[in-house]
Amino acid sequence: MTSDFDTTNSVGKIDLNVYPRDQHNISREHISENALKVLYRLQKAGYDAFLVGGGVRDLLLGKIPKDFDIATNATPEQIKLLFRNCRLIGRRFRLAHIIFGRDIIEVATFRGHHQQAEKQTSVQSEEGMLLRDNVYGSIDEDAERRDFTINAMYYNIADFSIHDYANGMRDLNEGMVRLIGDAEVRYREDPVRMLRAVRFASKLDMDISFETADPINYLAPLLQGIPAARLYEESLKLLQSGHGLDTYDLLREFGLFEHLFPQVAELFTEEENSKTEQMIDLVLESTDQRIAEGKRVNPAFMFAAMLWYPVEAYAARLMDQQGMSHYDAMMTAGNYILDEQVRSTAIPRRHTATIREVWQLQSRLERRSGKRAFRLLELNKFRAGFDFLEMRGQVEQGDTQKLAQWWHTFQHSGRNMRQAMVTDLGASGNRSGSGRRRRPAKKKPKKSS
């Protein structure tokens, strides 16, 4: 069953395809209980209620959605009256959160078209970026405002049909990420869509259509106008969602990565084998693997790895040009690189603190004599510091690798063996991996004869 209708706007004509229940594979069994509760409550109160966006897309692909978003013609105030556990959020656009313990279902009122709404509360910057838009609209207007065709499908709780406004079903089957409307216009409205295109392409293993891919090369610099806090959130979704390595490759291919991590990109080489590039490969590989194994990942660790060689390079300049000590240069460089980084992606303070700790542990791990090695082992951040050292060992080889091996053995040894390892350090004068000078042994006072 297909019905078409015309709407003329900046996005152009949209075609509605309706797929009844027997023409798609979404079953209510796969929708979370809480999302279903919200959908039914809205419907019983006489409103339209649809599951929308990533939830519908992922269910159609046979994947488990990260979250279930709902769209309705009820206003936020009307939604609030229906649910005791409802909180209204958002200044840019009011949304309702229905709270079920830790599970939150987001319910959005259909949004109107910003072009028509211009005289009301929609504001655009000179570059055509949407700054604020608070206008409710119809479901077809809501669909046009969404980013990609595969994200503009609506599952109707009234009859379990899917309303597909932009040929999303076709693109989903063909594995194509395609912006709705004119790509350049849509990217100028919201440059983050360039990052989202890359994210969905790698996460869903799809291609980006030519018209959608083509403008990215010259529009990528628009990312510089995006608030650093938003780019931070996006960078986590890009690199910490289980497909980090693929996503990173695509980001580089499209010239997007350098706008997220400019200082890192400065060290990139033609052969793609600089220490920085090797380190990024290692950390993203292990991040992807941890996520695949259902383990937790710490963003601070990834940022620490990405920024380590930029810190080293800057520290080398400080030692060279200003005669700073190694220790001071590394501290100063660490602060400088982080300060610069948060201007593009705002890594929160709790993470920058951890990043510094992991970096500082790198030189502390060299000094193992006396009780030091035993004390280091007790540190909260020892594990992160050691894992980091191991990755550096893989990249740098030589003394760093030997030091990482020493720590590996140390951790897996019993008390006596550990003591022997430490004693051995002193006896053989073996300071493998240590770049620092040992204090010269105190001269024995000469016996006066």
- In sequence order, the 6+-apart residues with CB closer than 8 A to the CB of 247 are 198, 199, 202, 203, 238, 239, 241
- Amino acid identity at 415: R
CB of 199 to ligand ATP, least distance (A): 7
**Among ligand ATP, Mg ion, none, what does residue 431 contact (CB within 5–8 Å per kind)?**
none
CB of 148 to ligand ATP, least distance (A): 7
**Among ligand ATP, Mg ion, none, what does residue 132 contact (CB within 5–8 Å per kind)?**
none
**Among Mg ion, ligand ATP, none, what does residue 192 contact (CB within 5–8 Å per kind)?**
ligand ATP
- Residue number, 207 or 233, with CB nearest to ligand ATP: 233
Partnered with residue 148 across adjacent β-strands are 179
CB of 87 to ligand ATP, least distance (A): 18
CB of 72 to Mg ion, least distance (A): 16
Enzyme catalytic residues = 67, 69, 147
C-alpha 44/C-alpha 163 separation (Å) is 20
**Among ligand ATP, Mg ion, none, what does residue 15 contact (CB within 5–8 Å per kind)?**
none
Q: Which of residues 35-54 bind Mg ion (CB under 5 A)?
A: 54
- Residue number, 58 or 366, with CB nearest to ligand ATP: 58
Q: At what angle do helices 299-322 and 275-292 cross, to 10 degrees?
A: 160
**Among Mg ion, ligand ATP, none, what does residue 142 contact (CB within 5–8 Å per kind)?**
none
Nearest residue to ligand ATP, by Cβ distance, number only: 54
153 binds Mg ion (CB under 5 A): no
- Other beta carbons within 10 angstroms of residue 382's beta carbon come to 17
- Residue number, 54 or 215, with CB nearest to Mg ion: 54
- In sequence order, the 6+-apart residues with CB closer than 8 A to the CB of 385 are 357, 358, 361, 362, 364, 365, 376, 379
DSSP-derived secondary structure for 277-297: HHHHHHHHHHHHHHHHTT---
- Residue number, 54 or 112, with CB nearest to Mg ion: 54
- Residue number, 69 or 390, with CB nearest to ligand ATP: 69
To 5 degrees, how large is the angle CA 223–CA 236–CA 339? 65
Per-residue string for binding with Mg ion, 58-87, x by CB under 5 A? ---------x--------------------
Q: Are 403 and 432 in contact (CB under 8 A)?
A: yes
- Residue number, 188 or 199, with CB nearest to Mg ion: 199
Write out the residues near ligand ATP by the rule CB under 6 A.
Answer: 53-54, 66-67, 69, 146-147, 151-152, 190, 192-193
CB of 191 to ligand ATP, least distance (A): 9
* Tokens representing residue 351 in the block: 């993470």
DSSP-derived secondary structure for 73-106: SS-HHHHHHH-TTEEEE-SSS-EEEEEETTEEEE
C-alpha 70/C-alpha 168 separation (Å) is 18
334 binds Mg ion (CB under 5 A): no
Q: At what angle do helices 299-322 and 349-364 cross, to 10 degrees?
A: 60
Distances (CA, A) of 91 to 94, 142, 191, 434: 6, 18, 20, 53
CB of 162 to Mg ion, least distance (A): 17
Return residues touching Mg ion (CB under 5 A).
54, 67
